Amino acid sequence: MFTHEDLATMQAQSLKMQGWIRRQTFSPEHEKSLRRFSSWEVSELIFKINQSTFRGRLAAEPDLPSGEVEEDGRQRWFSLTEINELRRRMKINRSSLLPQRPAGKRAIRVAISNFKGGAGKSTVALHMAHAAALDGYRVLCVDFDPQATLTHSMGLFQVSEDLTVWGIMARDLIHETDRMNAAPRAAASGTSVPQRRLPSGVRDLGLEALRNTDFIRPTAWPTIDMVPSCANAAFVEFASAQYRHLNPDWSFFAAVSRWLDALPDDAYDVIIFDCPPAIGYQSMNAVFAADVLYIPSGPGYWEYDSTTSFIGQLAEALGDLAGGFGGGFPAGKMRLPKAFLDIRFLLTRYEPGNDLHRAMLEAFRKVFGERVTEHPIEMTRAVEQSGRFLSSVYEIDYRNMTRETWRRARSTFDRAYDEFKDCFLRAWDQVE
């Protein structure tokens, strides 16, 4: 017979070997770094200007960053930091290259969410983050999924569970419980409300001492930061249920939203949430903090089925919150019932030549109308092939594959990003 103690022993053995196994399969030169971008990419694909205009400007203004020339090449290659400096300093036909951002507003938040594993959530989150960063935006990604696909894709591996969404939630429970205990209680009515107690195990984690920014890690992309996740954060679902029991008034679903509200408004432009394939404490936090809900789905019948089931259960869960926590319960700056500024369905791994896929796209359009994005993301070998990290097509050097494969992959994600941007810009205008 095996009990929890046997499981604990097995885990201890495994942990002992973990370092060794990691060294066997992972070497430091595999640390993720961001490549440079050629003057062709910078002018035509990033700034969307003529390559000769770009070259002319660089020649005329020698103190602009001029990139590096590779030994046997003619092209100049620019780092993202240089590209961003060019954005700030160059004007083309008197118009700025800086990305559009409504003045004085906090960052816009988009949750990429659906039920099914493999729907393409992490791939969409990764590509939208990279495309937004290349477009000049400062991006924060929050990984709500203990599978940590997005975290690993961003090159982050050594993550302690305290510094994940889990830590943000547990710290919020402590703050909220203290706030409730300190609040002037029904003194007028003379009834005394019992103090809510948290077990020392929660307080001993040392989370109270953490600053808001301690949860944020830099990535290989200079303008993308991340709240990472790790497999150990999976127990959050179980622990949250217990914690909720300790303080039933804790608005557990608003923890991340409260944490984001406490960041300076201009710290980021776009905040992207990668969600777990489930409706639980973590995904409810993502959904509740989001202004926009982006729902990727594969183009098959079962995916249609599971997307339908996802929105049904989400509706129910959000309805329960609105009922159970109603009456102006303090949930940060967000209100109940939760209202999204926009909702979009995005088909992924789409093959235009596949009859079933075309039929499913039509079906999605019939049912969800304008909520379905115009351009699905096509199936591409460029994403399938990428090696030990999930790398985006933006990270892959186009010289490593046929130019045609790379361009097709890039253009399908570019079109998806253009719509994504259009969607978040409209929503951003409505953010209070």
Ligand X SMILES: Nc1ncnc2c1ncn2[C@@H]1O[C@H](COP(=O)(O)OP(=O)(O)O)[C@@H](O)[C@H]1O
User: Which positions touch ligand X (CB under 6 A)?
Assistant: 117-123, 149, 277, 348-349, 377, 379-380, 383-384
Residue 430 corresponds to which amino acid?
Answer: Q
Nearest-approach distance from CB 39 to ligand X, in angstroms: 28
Task: List, in order, residues 6 or more apart from 368 with CB less than 8 Å away.
Answer: 345
Other Cβ atoms within 10 Å of 82 Cβ, number = 19
Pairwise CA distance, residues 383 & 353, whole Å: 19
- Region of residue 363 (phi > 0: left; psi between -120 and 50: alpha; otherwise: beta): alpha
Q: Are 236 and 169 in contact (CB under 8 A)?
A: yes
Q: Which of 106, 116, 121, 130 binds Mg ion (CB under 5 A)?
A: 121
- Name the residue nearer to ligand X (CB basis): 122 or 240: 122
Q: Does 151 bind Mg ion (CB under 5 A)?
A: no
Nearer to Mg ion, 122 or 307 (CB): 122
Residue 43's binding partner, choosing from Mg ion, ligand X, none, with beta-carbon cut-off 5 to 8 A by kind? none
Measure the CA–CA gap between 58 and 213, rounded to whole angstroms.
Answer: 37
Residue 152 as a binder of Mg ion (CB under 5 A): the answer is no
Task: Work out whether 122 is an interface residue with Mg ion (CB under 5 A).
Answer: yes
Q: Is 149 in the site for Mg ion (CB under 5 A)?
A: yes
Best CA proximity match to 113, nearest among 306, 326, 325: 306
CA distance 427 to 289: 14
Whether the Cβ atoms of residue 364 and residue 357 lie closer than 8 Å to each other: no
Q: Which residues pair with 378 in a beta bridge?
A: 350
Query: Interface with Mg ion by CB under 5 A: which range of 119-127, 136-144, 164-172, 191-199?
Result: 119-127
Report, in Å, the least distance between residue 87 CB and ligand X: 28
CA distance 305 to 286: 22
Residue 210 near residue 171, CB atoms below 8 Å: yes
Strands 139-143, 76-78: pairing is unpaired
Q: Which residue is nearest to Mg ion (CB)?
A: 122
Shortest gap between Cβ of 115 and Mg ion (angstroms)? Answer: 12
Q: Which stretch binds Mg ion (CB under 5 A): 148-156, 262-270, 317-325, 406-414?
A: 148-156
Which residues in 268-287 contact Mg ion (CB under 5 A)? Answer: none
Sign, CA torsion 148/154/159/165: negative
From the list ligand X, Mg ion, none, which binds 118 (C-beta under 5 to 8 Å, kind-based)? ligand X
| Cis amide linkage into residue 296, ω under 30° from 0 | no
Residue 148 vs 396, nearer CB to Mg ion? 148
The Cα 401–Cα 405 span in angstroms is: 7
Least Å distance between CB 231 and ligand X?
15
In the complex, the smallest distance separating the C-beta of residue 142 from Mg ion, rounded to whole angstroms, is 13
- Closer residue to ligand X, CB minimum distance, 258 or 410: 410
Stretch that binds Mg ion, among 143-151, 264-272, 286-294, 396-404 (CB under 5 A): 143-151
Q: How far is the CB of 377 from ligand X (least distance, A)?
A: 5
- Which of these segments, 8-16, 18-26, 114-122, 230-238, binds Mg ion (CB under 5 A)? 114-122
349 in contact with Mg ion (CB under 5 A): no
Closest separation between CB of residue 126 and Mg ion, Å?
9
Least separation in angstroms between residue 260's CB and ligand X is: 22
Q: For residues 378 and 401, what is the distance between their CA atoms, to the nearest angstrom?
A: 18
- Nearest approach, Cβ of 296 to ligand X (angstroms)? 7
Q: Between 284 and 409, name the residue whose CB sits nearer to ligand X.
A: 409
CA gap 379, 408 in Å, rounded: 10
Q: Could you list the residues that contact Mg ion (CB under 5 A)?
A: 121-122, 149
